[in-house]
């Protein structure tokens, strides 16, 4: 066994006499454990929040949207171009726009999307979000989000009136279904029509305004977008689901980084206790250090003794923090005992996604901080002169 590690283990794990040092060491260990545990939980929640939102955005929207300001006259031609690309699974036409919805004395603005019932179920996961289990869009039917239906007091079979701000038509529609994506914004501001009804309502004839594309891998959307921009006719441009939600995901990434930095300060503060523990230990063990150096123990070995001591305290705290953080994350994930207001956070519970890479990064960062905290007191001990250390003994 390494001499420095052996002596360090004896010093820092058998402190029956030095009660004060034991208490400081315990406080240091607990401080690091709390910091690591808080980091693991917060990063797991932030990752879960990010993954949950991405999953719902991908599920409710195509992975790529192709559109033109003047509309797309030949959908079949565009479809054949898109389907020739590697990684493309399905294509669907859309007619979308803004409308006002009237019901009794209430009125709300919403995003209206005309879809082809057969192809829509292959491009998005809208079927999985239907409360009735199927996307029912007969002529004159409309499918609303759950939050919109709740705000207006609507249920299947009720009749509403849609008004187009562009064409100025007031058209009655019957609620034929209600969907629930779990994202408050979508469930409040989105409604579906049969594509032919939407074309008539917006007065676009046989044009489609957008083409939705589903990919085998949604995260390859930027590469497919480059290929599309190369082959699409002039006037058509494409956007990925990442482009549409770019600001939102950037804000999430920045928030995650900020939380990591802020909570790392907890570990940093705890590591100052390691510094104080080692300084007190150096004072208490001055005679022992003098004897060790007198019998030939080198400066480097003395330095390593105290560095190992700090790392023993730090490693103990990190291990307890990892165990506590993982247990709490698993409990949060299983029982979902923290509920969220859905209109603020888009989701109704606290999501948790525990990744081994995140845990490793947190443990590595904490260990590095602990190591840096040992450098000064260990160097102080190594520089003690044996004659000075033993002069008054």
Residues forming a β-bridge with 161? 102, 172
30 and 96 inside one domain: no
374 and 276 inside one domain: yes
Check pLDDT > 80 for residue 10: no
- Domain housing 103: 88-215
At 67-115, the pLDDT tens digits run 887 888 888 888 988 988 889 999 999 999 899 999 988 888 899 999 9
76 lies in some domain: no
b/e code 242-274 from CB counts within 10 Å (16+ = b): beebeeebeebeeebeebbeebbebbbebbebb
273 and 198 inside one domain: no
The whole-model pTM stands at: 0.78
Identify the top-confidence range among 207-221, 271-285, 305-319. Answer: 207-221
Check pLDDT > 80 for residue 161: yes
258 and 382 inside one domain: yes
Work out the mean pLDDT of the chain and round it to a whole number.
84
What are the phi and psi torsion angles at 311 (to 5°)? Answer: -70, -30
- Judged by average pLDDT, the poorest of 162-171, 185-194, 330-339 is 162-171
- The pLDDT of residue 18: 56
Do 139 and 118 touch, CB atoms closer than 8 A? no
186 and 312 inside one domain: no
b/e code 63-95 from CB counts within 10 Å (16+ = b): bbbbbbeebbeebeebbebbeebeebebbbbbb
255 and 372 inside one domain: yes
294 and 160 inside one domain: no
Domain tally for the chain? 2
CA gyration radius, the chain: 32
Q: How would residue 223 be classed by pLDDT, with cut points 50, 70 and 90?
A: very high
Which secondary structure element, helix H or strand E, spans residue 25, and what is its range? helix 19-60
381 lies in some domain: yes
Rounded to an integer, the average pLDDT of 344-366 is 84
């Amino acid at each position: 066994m390494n001499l420095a590690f052996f002596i360090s283990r004896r010093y820092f794990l058998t402190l029956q006499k030095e009660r004060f040092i034991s208490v400081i060491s315990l406080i240091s260990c607990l401080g690091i454990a709390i910091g690591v545990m808080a980091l693991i939980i917060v990063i797991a929640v932030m990752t879960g929040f990010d993954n949950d939102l991405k999953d719902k955005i991908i599920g409710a929207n195509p992975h790529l949207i192709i559109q033109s300001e003047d509309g797309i006259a030949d959908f079949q031609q565009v479809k054949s171009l898109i389907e020739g690309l590697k990684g493309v699974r399905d294509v669907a036409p859309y007619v979308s726009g803004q409308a006002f919805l009237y019901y009794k004395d209430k009125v709300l603005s919403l995003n209206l999307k005309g879809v082809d019932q057969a192809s829509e179920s292959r491009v998005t996961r809208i079927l999985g979000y239907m409360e009735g289990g199927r996307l029912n869009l007969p002529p004159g039917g409309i499918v609303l989000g759950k939050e919109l239906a709740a705000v207006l007091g609507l249920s299947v079979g009720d009749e509403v009136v849609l008004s187009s701000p562009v064409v100025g038509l007031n058209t009655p529609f019957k609620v034929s279904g209600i969907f629930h994506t779990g994202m408050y914004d979508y469930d409040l501001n989105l409604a579906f029509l049969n594509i032919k009804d939407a074309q008539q309502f917006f007065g676009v004839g046989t044009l489609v305004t957008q083409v939705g594309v589903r990919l085998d891998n949604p995260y390859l959307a930027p590469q497919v977008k480059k290929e599309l921009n190369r082959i699409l006719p002039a006037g058509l441009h494409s956007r990925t689901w990442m482009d549409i939600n770019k600001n939102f995901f950037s804000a999430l990434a920045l928030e995650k980084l900020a939380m990591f930095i802020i909570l790392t300060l907890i570990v940093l503060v705890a590591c100052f206790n390691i510094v104080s523990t080692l300084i007190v230990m150096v004072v208490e063990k001055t005679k022992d250090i003098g004897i060790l150096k007198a019998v030939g123990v080198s400066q480097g070995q003395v330095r390593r003794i105290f560095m190992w001591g700090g790392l023993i305290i730090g490693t103990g705290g990190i291990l307890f923090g990892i165990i506590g953080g993982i247990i709490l994350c698993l409990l949060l994930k299983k029982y979902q005992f923290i509920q969220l207001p859905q209109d603020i956070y888009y989701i109704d519970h606290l999501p948790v996604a525990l990744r081994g890479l995140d845990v490793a990064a947190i443990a590595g960062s904490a260990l590095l901080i602990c190591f840096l905290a040992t450098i000064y007191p260990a160097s102080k001990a190594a520089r003690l002169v044996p004659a000075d250390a033993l002069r008054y003994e």
